[in-house]
C-alpha cells in the first residue's frame, strides 16, 4: 500500500484497483447490471466486469455456467435478472460465442457481449467468439473487445446508472 493508497487485486481478472485510503465506498446509484457467463473458464473477464460495475455504484445480479450447450440452464437466471429489474446484461462467452445472441433475443434491455480468449480448437484466441457476436442478427447486442472486462463493466454501469437516474427522476 503505497503512501495513502489502498491497492486491491481482482480475484481472477489480473486487475488492480487503487484508491485513496480514506476514500468512501462507492455510492449505490440504483443501476442494476446482470452478468451471465457461458462457462466457468469465462470467470476472469466476468470478474473484471463485475468489479468495475460495482465500483461504479451498480448492484450486480450474476449467474455462471449457463451456456447454450445446456439451454435449460438459462431459464432461471433470465427469470432472476428480470425480477431484479436489470437495466443491462453483460454476457461473457468464449468458444463459439453463441450465448450473447441467444440472450439478446430473449430480453428487452441492452446486452453487452464480452468475448473471451478461452476455449480449444479453432477458437483463435477469442476471434471466433468475437466474430460470432459481431455477426448476430439479434437486436440490442453490442460487443467489446476480447477479454475486455473493464470496458464491458464500465459501459454496462454507464447505461445502468443513466437508466436509474431517469427511473428515479421526479419528472417521470
Which pLDDT value is given to residue 23?
82
Please say whether the beta carbons of 110 and 163 come within 8 A: no
pLDDT for residue 13 is more than 70: no
- Of 142, 129, 14, which Cα lies nearest the Cα of 67? 129
Q: How confident is the model at residue 64 (pLDDT cuts 50, 70, 90)?
A: very high
CA distance 137 to 109: 16
pLDDT for residue 7 is more than 90: no
Which pLDDT value is given to residue 121?
72
Which tens digit of pLDDT belongs to each residue from 102-157? 999 999 999 999 999 987 777 789 999 999 999 999 999 999 999 999 999 999 99
Residue ranges covered by each domain of the chain: 26-167
Q: How confident is the model at residue 88 (pLDDT cuts 50, 70, 90)?
A: very high
Please say whether the beta carbons of 96 and 65 come within 8 A: no
Q: Which CATH number fits domain 26-167: 3.40.50.10090, 3.10.580.10, 3.40.50.1970, 2.40.70.10?
A: 3.40.50.1970
pTM beyond 0.75: the answer is: yes
Task: Please list the residues that pair with 126 across neighbouring strands.
Answer: none
Q: Which three cell numbers stand for residue 163?
A: 437508466
What's the average model confidence in pLDDT over 47-58? 95
Amino acid at each position: 500500500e503505497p503512501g495513502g493508497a489502498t491497492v486491491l487485486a481482482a480475484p481472477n481478472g489480473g486487475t488492480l484497483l487503487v484508491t485513496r485510503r480514506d476514500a468512501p465506498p462507492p455510492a449505490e446509484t440504483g443501476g442494476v447490471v446482470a452478468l451471465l457467463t457461458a462457462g466457468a473458464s469465462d470467470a476472469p473477464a466476468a470478474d473484471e466486469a463485475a468489479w468495475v460495475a460495482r465500483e461504479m455504484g451498480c448492484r450486480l445480479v450474476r449467474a455462471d455456467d449457463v451456456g447454450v450447450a445446456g439451454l435449460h440452464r438459462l431459464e432461471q437466471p433470465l427469470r432472476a435478472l428480470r425480477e431484479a429489474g436489470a437495466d443491462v446484461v453483460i454476457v461473457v462467452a468464449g468458444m463459439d460465442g453463441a450465448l450473447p445472441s441467444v440472450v439478446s433475443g430473449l430480453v428487452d434491455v441492452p446486452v453487452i457481449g464480452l468475448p473471451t480468449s478461452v476455449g480449444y480448437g479453432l477458437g483463435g484466441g477469442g476471434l471466433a467468439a468475437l466474430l460470432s457476436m459481431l455477426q448476430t442478427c439479434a437486436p440490442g447486442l453490442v460487443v467489446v473487445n476480447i477479454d475486455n472486462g473493464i470496458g464491458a463493466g464500465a459501459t454496462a454501469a454507464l447505461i445502468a446508472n443513466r437508466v436509474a437516474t431517469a427511473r428515479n427522476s421526479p419528472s417521470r
